[in-house]
Structure 1
Amino acid sequence: MSGALSFHGLTVGYGGEPVLHEVTFSLAPGEMVALLGANGAGKTTLLRTLAGFVHPTAGGIRLDGEDLGRLSPEQRARRGIAQVPEGRSVVAELTVDENLRLGALWRHRGRARETAVAEVYDLFEPLARRRSADGHQLSGGERQMLALGRALVSRPQVLTLDEPSLGLAPLVVAHLMATLRDAAARDGMTVLLAEQNITSALSIADRGVVLDLGHVVADAAASALADDAALRHAYLGF
């Protein structure tokens, strides 16, 4: 497993209006990068472009040196890119266990699938206790755990998350972030975490990249960004 990811000169727009402007940065294999910025900064657009749902007007994205430009969203998922979109996306009519097995459907078979699902239950005890519950019966925190677990069960090279802490209680956020950090370290995943909960994101990330109106305005170690009061006040609102 490698997972070296790079964005080079990425320009993306809707209806002729650019949202991302020549965005360039990279992630080393196994690195966790927090993608930071206010609403409208371009975070979700960047993640959707990586997943293949939006096409750039210039520049591109490479995974382990391979240009992803011609790959469909399904091909990118098969290449090892998993995403947890904003909104705790789970299949409400399926049980917790069925949701997890759906995530492992095309990546694992037989014993490997059972092992991957069991590892998710080890990470998220609340899911293990509710494995027979339908998705619509879960709390907001449990649904977010399930969305993350369904991505992890595919054993991705690259994992992206869009505002996973949105609307969750602080204790749930702390547990979610700690579990994400532990899972990433265990599996050697490359992680791109888009978050407005700046403190939580920087507490687990190796690096932070700050977007402002589609431009990269900072790219530095997480600790350096957390200590830069002027930058935080200018672009992150705290």
Structure 2
Amino acid sequence: MSTLTIEKLTVGYGDGAPVLDGLELEVPDGGVVALLGANGAGKTTLLRSLLGLVPARSGRVLLDGVDLTRLSTEDRVRRGLALVPEGRSVVVELTVAENLRLGALWKHRGPARDVAVGQMYELFEPLARRRDAAGHTLSGGERQMLALARALVGEPDVLLLDEPSLGLAPLVVAQLLGVLRDQAEATGLTVLLAEQNVTGALSVADRGVVLSLGEVVADRPAAELAADPALRHAYLGF
């Protein structure tokens, strides 16, 4: 279990104005935090910057007190971070099984890798049935399951997800969010979930964090945030 701490993080692209400006946030270990806000609030930029895909102009990112800010993306992954980006990113030329083995490659070898992949098939039964199917033949829901499974098979301490429910049927969304909740409870996985599906995200989250123009404007227990009509109307559109 790991605590992710963000201190005065400022991030931007090129010479433009910062997208995140002095952002501060702590994501405690072993729970789900819903990262909410309108398009352009900075959710995707925050997740990408945590993995080092967008460099910080200033501030720090710490995992259990260890400063990750100047580490490469590969080193951050080895320290325990994993990102499932928007867009159901899988290697479409590879089969389901090959994608999962690829996700487990740096963490597991030999029989241990087979065990880890088998656990993903137990979590996501549709993937077990299609283990020999190429990625490009999967439905949108199956691809998102595979993207999530490929991240989980590497046993990260902190899982970052960017809009995992985008474009998916409600039943698939419910299954994916349920897996996240169950994994947080069963394994101590820490989850930072950026979502436009506010109701779904808050239903599985312990806390909700609302971003607006690159700043945290609310950080509350999920149930309390969902019950605040003024805040919902002002920042979340419902």
Q: Which residue of 2 aligns with 1:225?
A: 225
For 2:47 and 2:79, how far apart are their aligned partners in 1? 16
Q: Which residue of 1 aligns with 2:150?
A: 150
For 1:24 and 1:103, how far apart are their aligned partners in 2? 31
2:5 is equivalent to residue 6 of structure 1: yes
For 1:67 and 1:16, how far apart are their aligned partners in 2? 26
For 1:178 and 1:16, how far apart are their aligned partners in 2? 39
For 1:213 and 1:106, how far apart are their aligned partners in 2? 37
For 1:84 and 1:202, how far apart are their aligned partners in 2? 19
For 1:67 and 1:143, how far apart are their aligned partners in 2? 33
Q: Which residue of 2 aligns with 1:109?
A: 109
2:66 is equivalent to residue 66 of structure 1: yes
Runs of 4+ in 1 over 3 A off after TM superposition: none
Q: Any stretches of 5+ residues in structure 2 without a counterpart?
A: none
Q: Which residue of 1 aligns with 2:77?
A: 77
Tell me by how many angstroms 1:206 deviates. Answer: 0.5
Deviations 1:162-183 (A, max 9, x none): 0000000111111111112112
Q: Any stretches of 5+ residues in structure 1 without a counterpart?
A: none
2:210 is equivalent to residue 194 of structure 1: no
Amino acid at match of 1:6: T
Deviations 1:93-145 (A, max 9, x none): 00000000000001111222111111110000000000000000000000000
SS of residue in 1 equivalent to 2:54: coil
For 2:16 and 2:87, how far apart are their aligned partners in 1? 27
Tell me by how many angstroms 1:161 deviates. Answer: 0.3
Contact kept in structure 2, 1:32 and 1:205, CA below 8 Å? yes
TM-score, normalised to structure 2, is 0.98
Contact kept in structure 2, 1:84 and 1:161, CA below 8 Å? yes
SS of residue in 2 equivalent to 1:18: coil
CA-based RMSD of the aligned residues comes to 0.8
Q: Which residue of 1 aligns with 2:209?
A: 209
SS of residue in 1 equivalent to 2:150: helix
SS of residue in 1 equivalent to 2:132: coil
For 1:107 and 1:230, how far apart are their aligned partners in 2? 45
For 2:134 and 2:185, how far apart are their aligned partners in 1? 30
* Identical-residue share of aligned pairs (%): 68
Contact kept in structure 1, 2:12 and 2:19, CA below 8 Å? yes
Contact kept in structure 2, 1:155 and 1:187, CA below 8 Å? no
Contact kept in structure 1, 2:45 and 2:54, CA below 8 Å? yes
Tell me by how many angstroms 1:60 deviates. Answer: 1.1
Would you say how many aligned residue pairs link Structure 1 and Structure 2? 237
For 1:29 and 1:104, how far apart are their aligned partners in 2? 23
2:128 is equivalent to residue 128 of structure 1: yes
Deviations 1:183-203 (A, max 9, x none): 222221111000000000000
For 2:185 and 2:155, how far apart are their aligned partners in 1? 13
Amino acid at match of 1:141: G
